[in-house]
Amino acid sequence: MTEFGQARRADFGFEERLVFLNHGSFGATPNIVLAAQAEWRARLERNPPQFMRGVLPKALDDSRAALAAYVGARTEDIGFVDNATAGCNAVLRSLALEPGDEVLSTSHVYNAVRNAIRYVCRRAGARYVEAALAFDRPRVDDVVAALTERMGAKTRLVVVDHIASDSALIFPLARIASLCRERGVRLLIDGAHGPGHVPLALDDLGADYYAGNCHKWLCAPKGAAFLWVRRDRQIGVHPPIVSHFMDQGFAPEFGWQGTRDPTAWLCVKDVLDWRAGLGEAALRDYCGALLGRAVGTLEAAWNVGALTPKDARAFMASLPVPGAPPASHALAEKLRTALLDHDHLETQIKAVDGVLFIRITAFVYNSDEDYARLAKALPKRLRDIGSDPA
Ligand SMILES: Cc1ncc(COP(=O)(O)O)c(C=O)c1O
């Protein structure tokens, strides 16, 4: 049986005293996968042209096939990109929007993706529409109602997160997909936090496009991400870098985006092997249960209620910071830095909608003590900051 918690810390290269409660920002990659990446790089450099011509195409196909099986998709429908932002950009920039068209998202959208939507809308004379959602425990029905209300005859595309960055909310994708289908509107899912965090069955999701990161929760090296496109939507979808294989099919186009280091993509297969060794079900059970206990510990210690609803979270949740002075970015940054500098706690702390909140994560190397330490440290650091939050 796999041991999780302290026993798994040695799989990663964390600083010795670091308590890592922020897997959500950039993930973390096991040493064994970094070693595999170094080996791929060494192989490439033994004869770069021969590697690119003779080894890379088949190795990429193998990695893509392993990923496709993991996310419940056909290999042909997946193309590697550098990050989820690039995957969203590929879809958005490939759309033929007309003046007056609308692209709809929600107030939980990641700001980089919001900017990409704004950019393509501005270029086309189209309109970006944002459905307002509560930040504190939005209900599934409210999410669907807010999107329904803002969807109109001009809506061409809906963009929603799979799991939102700040609120950590898991969006009700099945309900959103059926709403979009009923209205004949295409659906792009920003799955930056999806793969490796919640089970995926992309072929059954009812979406048109899904951009997912492998370098967050899957633990692949940075620069590993993918775009899945429903097979009948693939014509006209180009990668962010248009190169030699333009209009020659989805897989060839995404398979060559100019000269680049392809080793993060190749390591997706290696990271899936590492996870299989731990046991995917065991990993999910451990991280899900740990997050549940962590939220309980912090809620009780701080006398607050988590912002992320219990039935819409997995390994990540946000909680209000108790008794904080008026929320500001400066205060958030000051508190985050104090926890890191004095307590070796790496966390994400932000101010959104006037709420100062902390986002925590639970992954294979965490254990209950990590959250007990946070429970104690945060009120103390807040007191230290005291009346000088600026
Ligand atoms: C919801 C969401 N979308 C997109 C991104 C961007 O991911 P990347 O920087 O890997 O493109 C993030 C990053 O945290 C995110 O949380």
Render pLDDT for 179-217 as a digit per residue (tens, 0 to 9): 999 999 999 999 999 999 999 999 999 999 999 999 999
Q: How far apart are CA 298 and CA 296, in angstroms?
A: 6
Confidence grade of residue 326 (pLDDT, cut at 50, 70, 90): confident
Q: How far apart are CA 174 and CA 170, in angstroms?
A: 11
Q: Which atom, in ligand 1's list, is nearest to the CA of 216? A: 10
Residue 4 is predicted with a pLDDT of 98
Residue 323 is predicted with a pLDDT of 84
Q: Dig out the tokens for 375 from the structure.
A: 């429970």
> pLDDT tens digit string along 154-173?
999 999 999 999 999 999 99
Q: Dig out the tokens for 220 from the structure.
A: 């692949």
Residue 1 is predicted with a pLDDT of 85
CA of 170 to the centre of ligand 1 (A): 14
Q: Which residue has the tokens 């999701």?
A: 205
Please, are residues 108 and 248 in contact by the beta-carbon 8 Å criterion?
Answer: no
Q: How far apart are CA 168 and CA 350, in angstroms?
A: 13
CB atoms near residue 333 (< 10 Å) = 13
Q: Which atom, in ligand 1's list, is nearest to the CA of 165? A: 16
The pLDDT > 90 percentage for the chain reads 95
Please, are residues 163 and 170 in contact by the beta-carbon 8 Å criterion?
Answer: yes
CA of 212 to the centre of ligand 1 (A): 9
pLDDT exceeds cutoff 90 at 11: yes
Mean pLDDT in the chain?
96
Render 38-107 in DSSP notation, one character per residue. Answer: HHHHHHHHHSHHHIIIIIHHHHHHHHHHHHHHHHTS-GGGEEEESSHHHHHHHHHHH----TT-EEEEET
Q: Stretch 356-365: mean pLDDT, rounded?
A: 98
pLDDT exceeds cutoff 70 at 281: yes
What residues does 318 pair with on adjacent strands? 359
> CA 232, 118, 193, 83: dihedral to nearest 10 degrees?
80
Q: What is the pTM of this model?
A: 0.97
Residue 334 is predicted with a pLDDT of 96
pLDDT exceeds cutoff 80 at 69: yes
Q: Stretch 252-273: mean pLDDT, rounded?
A: 97
Ligand 1 environment, Cβ below 6 A = 83-85, 110, 112-113, 161, 164-165, 190, 192-193, 213
Q: How far apart are CA 174 and CA 228, in angstroms?
A: 17
Distances from the Cα of 169 to the Cα of 1, 68, 260, 295, angstroms: 31, 25, 34, 14
Confidence grade of residue 250 (pLDDT, cut at 50, 70, 90): very high
pLDDT exceeds cutoff 70 at 265: yes
> pLDDT tens digit string along 175-186?
999 999 999 999
pLDDT exceeds cutoff 90 at 324: no
For the chain, how many residues are written?
390
Domains of the chain as residue ranges with CATH: 6-30+279-385 (3.90.1150.10), 47-274 (3.40.640.10)
Closest to 237 measured CA to CA, from 224, 223, 252: 252
Q: Which atom, in ligand 1's list, is nearest to the CA of 190? A: 3
Residue 388 is predicted with a pLDDT of 54
pLDDT exceeds cutoff 90 at 343: yes
Q: What is the CA radius of gyration of the chain?
A: 21
CA of 84 to the centre of ligand 1 (A): 6
Confidence grade of residue 256 (pLDDT, cut at 50, 70, 90): very high
Confidence grade of residue 390 (pLDDT, cut at 50, 70, 90): low
Residue 354 is predicted with a pLDDT of 86
Q: Which atom, in ligand 1's list, is nearest to the CA of 163? A: 1
Please, are residues 193 and 163 in contact by the beta-carbon 8 Å criterion?
Answer: yes
Q: How far apart are CA 139 and CA 145, in angstroms?
A: 10
The three-class DSSP label of residue 163 is strand
CB atoms near residue 15 (< 10 Å) = 9
Please, are residues 77 and 229 in contact by the beta-carbon 8 Å criterion?
Answer: yes
> pLDDT tens digit string along 292-316?
999 999 999 999 999 999 999 999 9
